[in-house]
Amino acid sequence: QVQLKQSGPGLVQPSQSLSITCTVSGFSLTSYGVHWVRQSPGKGLEWLGVIWSGGSTDYNAAFISRLSISKDNSKSQVFFKMNSLQANDTAIYYCARGDSLLDWGQGTTLTVSS
């Protein structure tokens, strides 16, 4: 069955970066895009960006200067990196399959704190 498993740190210091790996199974990254969404108490669900099945990316303009999404189709892995983190980046970060966000990862809870 379809699964998206996320790995990444839970605590990051201000100004540092966040890296999350989303390892997928049950579908091919050449057939579906993978989107990234975060959820914080203050701002609800917020779409961050997508890597399309063909490998191109789209980013939320609010994050374009500090966000990077890439993938390795052969390893079924998608890589998310956000730089220059601040306290208001504290949130749960999710990867999700397809434009209708058909299936979601379990979430990575990030706290930005010194």
Partner 1 sequence: DIVMTQSHKFMSTSVGDRVSITCKASQDVSTAVAWYQQKPGQSPKLLIYSASYRYTGVPDRFTGSGSGTDFTFTISSVQAEDLAVYYCQQHYSTPFTFGSGTKLEIK
Q: Identity (one letter) of the amino acid at 77?
A: Q
72 binds partner 1 (CB under 8 A): no
Report the residue number, 8 or 107, with the smaller CB distance to partner 1.
107
Query: d(Cα 82, Cα 27) in Å, to the nearest integer?
Result: 25
Contact 22, 77 (CB under 8 A): yes
Element (H, E) at 37: strand 34-40
71 binds partner 1 (CB under 8 A): no
Choose which of 16, 23, 40, 47 interacts with partner 1 (CB under 8 A): 47
As a residue count, the chain comes to 114
Could you tell me the smallest distance in angstroms from the CB atom of residue 72 to partner 1? Answer: 23
Q: Using CB under 8 A as the criterion, which residues of the chain lie in contact with partner 1 when the complex forms?
A: 35, 44-47, 50, 58, 60-61, 94, 99-107
